[in-house]
Amino acid sequence: MKVFICGGAGYIGSHLVHELSTLSQYEIIIIDNLSKGHVESIPAGITFENADICDKGALERVFTKHKPEAVMHFCASIAVGESVTDPLGYYENNVVGTIYLLQAMKKHNVKYFIFSSTAAIFGNPEETPIPDDSPTKPINPYGDTKLTVEKILAWTEDAHGIKYVCLRYFNACGAHESGKIGEDHDPETHLIPVILQVALGKREKIKIYGDKYDTKDGTCVRDYVHVTDLATAHIKALEYLVRENKSNKFNLGSGEGYTVKEVIEASRKITGHPIPEIIEEPRAGDPAILIAGSERAEKILGWKRKYNTIEDIVKTAWKYHQSHPNGYNNK
Ligand code: UDP
């Protein structure tokens, strides 16, 4: 089966590509404009098209050339804080780009779509862990762009028969166990890589965004899920679409949360570095607690996580960061 991996040179996309490339029944074509992705993350022998999903002409060219049967869509702007200051840029990239992609799928009769959604669609959830069918109420533009796409997908299925799976990621983290690929954003804003940059001596301190939240130590609680486990869920979702020909939405969480301070403490243990910290003002758009159950993914997709503790996750991230202290560009 021919599968387009849009954003396949990015953090989660590249881990999916590595997992999917171990299965002989899939032919992978990566579509990425390399605005955030890294060509170095692409394994040898995988087809790569440098194309932007916001460029209709480029999409027409790659769909005509490769005739995919399924599309996995990882391209997105993903920084919550930045989405608050640049909502228009976020709607353009995350919503308009996806519309172009769906239009190309409609035209070329591609029936299966897997969408990278997010915990941010739930806003400040009413129930914790967040059930799969919890009400959605994003509190930042990033989450709203993803929810908007989820709504578009429901209408697109009705009108054009495109079957989809939305995977609502909680905090993606960690790196491939080989240490060869990992998280490299510029600028880096995500908690674990930023902490590890302190351990590498590239930053002086970790800034903790707020310690007056209603949580056990006052810092925000997040549900950290290993990126390889997220990749596995995509493969299970594709199998599900082909097997059942039905659309669905799944939370991909671990049912457990860690505070920012707990993640820092775990990182001190793994790296042996004191990792000094400083309390800063809370970041705009940050909910206090985001933890999800993943009952539906476990039951329907048969998804099972391999990484179950924050220490195991940080260990893999540390392996990547130690071997790539300046990211992909300067190994
Ligand atoms: N965070 C922090 N300092 C940082 C980066 C993140 O205190 O330098 C906090 C952030 O406020 C949030 C948690 O760590 O509560 C996870 O943030 P991240 O940006 O990694 O992911 P998000 O939850 O926004 O998707």
Q: Which of 191, 259, 261 to mutate to test the pocket of ligand 1 (most atoms within 8 A of CB)?
A: 191
Q: Which atom of ligand 1 lies at the shortest distance from residue 209's CA? A: 7
Q: Which of 283, 289, 290 to mutate to test the pocket of ligand 1 (most atoms within 8 A of CB)?
A: 283
Q: Rounded to whole angstroms, how far apart are CA atoms 194 and 207?
A: 9
Q: What share of the chain is helix, strand, coil (3-state, %, to 5)?
A: 40, 20, 40
- Kindly give the distance from the C-alpha atom of residue 171 to the centroid of ligand 1, in angstroms, as a whole number: 9
Residue minimizing CA distance to atom 22 of ligand 1: 171
Residue minimizing CA distance to atom 12 of ligand 1: 220
Q: Which of 115, 97, 106 is nearest to 151 (CA)?
A: 115
pLDDT by residue for the chain (331 residues), tens digit each?
A: 999 999 999 999 999 999 999 999 999 999 999 999 999 999 999 999 999 999 999 999 999 999 999 999 999 999 888 999 999 999 999 999 999 999 999 999 999 999 999 999 999 899 999 999 999 999 999 999 999 999 999 999 999 999 999 999 999 999 999 999 999 988 899 999 999 999 999 999 999 999 999 999 999 999 999 999 999 999 999 999 999 999 999 999 999 999 999 999 999 999 999 999 999 999 988 899 999 989 999 999 999 999 999 999 999 999 999 999 999 976 5
- The CB of 191 under 6 Å from ligand 1? The reply is yes
Q: Which atom of ligand 1 lies at the shortest distance from residue 119's CA? A: 25
Which residues form the catalytic set?
142
- The CB of 194 under 6 Å from ligand 1? The reply is yes
Q: Rounded to whole angstroms, how far apart are CA atoms 120 and 164?
A: 19
The helix-helix angle for 56-66 and 97-107 (nearest 10°) equals 40
- The CB of 110 under 6 Å from ligand 1? The reply is no
User: Residues with Cβ < 8 Å from 5, sequence gap 6 or more?
Assistant: 13, 16, 17, 20, 28, 29, 30, 31, 72, 74
- The CB of 111 under 6 Å from ligand 1? The reply is no
- The CB of 220 under 6 Å from ligand 1? The reply is yes
Query: What ipTM was predicted for this assembly?
Result: 0.98
- Contact indicator for 258, 313 with CB cutoff of 8 Å: no
Domains annotated on the chain, with CATH: 2-173+225-252 (3.40.50.720), 191-222+255-323 (3.90.25.10)
Residue minimizing CA distance to atom 19 of ligand 1: 190
- The CB of 197 under 6 Å from ligand 1? The reply is no
- Kindly give the distance from the C-alpha atom of residue 112 to the centroid of ligand 1, in angstroms, as a whole number: 32
- The CB of 328 under 6 Å from ligand 1? The reply is no
- The CB of 218 under 6 Å from ligand 1? The reply is no
- Kindly give the distance from the C-alpha atom of residue 86 to the centroid of ligand 1, in angstroms, as a whole number: 18
